[in-house]
Amino acid sequence: MDDNFERKTVGGRVAIVGTGSRAAMFVRGIVERPASAVVAILEPNTIRAAYYNDLLKSLGAPTVPVYKPEQFRDMLTTERVDAIVVTCIDALHHLYIIPALEAGVQVLTEKPMTTDADKCRAILETVQRTGRHLTVTFNYRYNPVHELVKRTITEGKIGTVISIHFEWLLDTVHGADYFRRWHRQKGNSGGLMVHKSGHHFDLVNWWIGSEPETVAGMGKTAFYGKEAGTKNGWAKDYVRARGSDEARKDPFAMHMEMDETLQKLYAEAESDDGYHRDMNVFGPDIAIEDDMSVMVRYKSGVTLTYHLTAYSPWEGYRVMFNGSEGRLELEVVESEYRSPSDGERLGGLIHGTKSLPHPGGATVTLQRLWEKPQQLPVNIDHSAHGGGDTRMLSVLFGAKPGQEVDTGDASEQSANERDGAMALAVGVCANESFKTGNFIDVASLNFPL
């Protein structure tokens, strides 16, 4: 992180840019704090915007004006906006980050900060030109289990970190969900390499306090999509689940009418923009990978091997740190298994207020050389990204009435544009390596840092 990055609590008059799934968490967090208020919504879909105004009303807050994307600059002036929270499609983040920085408005953006090197360079150049920073909401940094890992490494319990192996498993409901919605097009999301860089690669960068230097990877669409689905025997012949009898036979289908949140936020909003939230995960237009292997060399000399699977029967992750004085192992089981009915009611999961079904446990094991392994005490919360969302909101927007400000570890975990760029760099370089088969140097991205 830039040493000159000043951590400031966001407050005052806040505008929400984009009313997809993550916006609700921020809306609730802002309304709960009397020093802040949602004063505007920017959203092209009028029905979805109305849903969020109804949410504000249900929380006891006033409804607010709704602006279209082309009215963004007018919104900043007319509503005297102090800060924006960017939660729109990932590939569009730069369209709002850049003019907001130029206007002197505080910027919080969902991760990933953006989706490709060109857009990232444009954001970084704006930071240099204006002297203003932005905050990237890397909520997994605030997860107490991840914080324990960071603290254990920083305290030198395993000596100098030499290598890391990181395995992340997305299951056949959550993992499949990226192939139902706008993420399935690489132009929107950058694929799972970029989308998950905001969780996984930022965590590694942060855990070891270093930045990536060289990346190589192999990726494929081995499970989802028409070709793989037909080969593996899972494919069904329909375009989207709503109104399809064939989808009723598909355990991978999501049925929006079974969930009130999905029905109101997406199904009822289709007439305004034609966006379908329940596409067939075995459709012919799938353009992102579902099985990815990556190697990263860091400036500190640490090497990382990483594998992401998006079609696992269970969900969770394992991380192994090998050090000069021992080994640290993290295992988190977010969902032990899935049943087809788990895909019918996703509203709470979409808004980040519930844990995945059938949650398991978490362990952090420290084993120093010549010593017995020891299980470190963990505080596991399967909802809200392991409790990270709740703690992040308190750091970003200040404590709620009656709560104390967190002046401990969490207060040191805010991330700026450099952190956003270094997390993105691994995903962008991995995507390039998928195409070329070459090792890709992060320096070749020419990020002005």
- Residue whose C-alpha is closest to residue 84's, from 21, 2, 12, 141: 12
Sign of the alpha-carbon torsion through 361, 329, 430, 425: positive
Whole-prediction pTM: 0.94
Which two three-digit tokens encode residue 411?
């207060």
| Dist CA 107 CA 130 (whole Å) | 13
Of 114-118, 212-216, 248-252, 380-384, least confident by mean pLDDT is 380-384
Residue 74: per-residue pLDDT: 98
212-220 and 440-441 as β-strands: parallel, antiparallel, unpaired? antiparallel
* pLDDT at 28 > cutoff 60: yes
| Dist CA 211 CA 418 (whole Å) | 10
- Residue whose C-alpha is closest to residue 344's, from 257, 215, 240: 257
Q: Average pLDDT in the 398-425 region?
A: 81
Residue 137 near residue 110, CB atoms below 8 Å: yes
Instruction: Say which amino acid occupies 36.
Output: S
**For the chain, what is the mean pLDDT?**
92
- Domains defined for the chain, CATH in brackets: 12-136 (3.40.50.720), 140-224+286-384+411-445 (3.30.360.10)
Of 91-100, 313-322, 407-416, least confident by mean pLDDT is 407-416
Residue 2: per-residue pLDDT: 45
| Dist CA 349 CA 351 (whole Å) | 5
* pLDDT at 195 > cutoff 50: yes
Residue 399: per-residue pLDDT: 83
Q: Average pLDDT in the 174-179 region?
A: 94
* pLDDT band (50, 70, 90) for residue 400: confident
* pLDDT at 232 > cutoff 70: yes
* pLDDT band (50, 70, 90) for residue 414: confident
Residue 409: per-residue pLDDT: 63
Instruction: Say which amino acid occupies 216.
Output: A
Of 174-183, 263-272, 332-341, 398-407, least confident by mean pLDDT is 398-407
What burial class does residue 320 get, using C-beta atoms within 10 Å of its C-beta: 0-12 exposed, 13-18 middle, 19+ buried? middle
What 3 state SS string does the chain have? CCCCCCCCCCCEEEEEECCCCCHHHHHHHHHCCCCEEEEEEECCCHHHHHHHHHHHHHCCCCCCCEECHHHHHHHHHHCCCCEEEECCCHHHCHHHHHHHHHCCCEEEEECCCCCCHHHHHHHHHHHHHHCCCCEEECHHHHCHHHHHHHHHHHCCCCCCEEEEEEEEEEECCHHHHCCCCHHHCHHHHCHHHHHHHHCHHHHHHHHHCCCEEEEEEEEECCCCCHHHHHHHCCCCCCCECCCCCHHHHCCCCCCHHHCHHHHHHCHHHHHHHCCCCCECCCCCCCCCCCEEEEEEEECCCCEEEEEEEEEECCEEEEEEEEECCEEEEEEEEEECCCCHHHHCCCHHHHCCCCCCCCCCCEEEEEEECCCCCEEECCCCCCCCCCCHHHHHHHHHHCCCCCCCCCCCHHHHCCECHHHHHHHHHHHHHHHHHHHHCCCEEHHHHCCCC
Q: What is the share, in percent, of the chain residues with pLDDT greater than 90?
A: 78
* pLDDT at 29 > cutoff 50: yes
Q: Average pLDDT in the 133-142 region?
A: 92
Of 32-36, 189-193, 345-349, least confident by mean pLDDT is 345-349
pLDDT digit string (tens) for 244-269? Answer: 999 999 999 999 988 888 899 999 99
Higher-pLDDT residue of 223 and 173 is 223
* pLDDT band (50, 70, 90) for residue 388: confident
Q: Average pLDDT in the 281-302 region?
A: 98
CA angle 219, 355, 186 (to 5 degrees): 25
Q: Average pLDDT in the 265-274 region?
A: 94
* pLDDT at 113 > cutoff 70: yes
Which two three-digit tokens encode residue 135?
């905050």
Within a 10 A sphere around the Cβ of 55, how many other Cβ atoms?
A: 21
Which two three-digit tokens encode residue 325?
């004085």
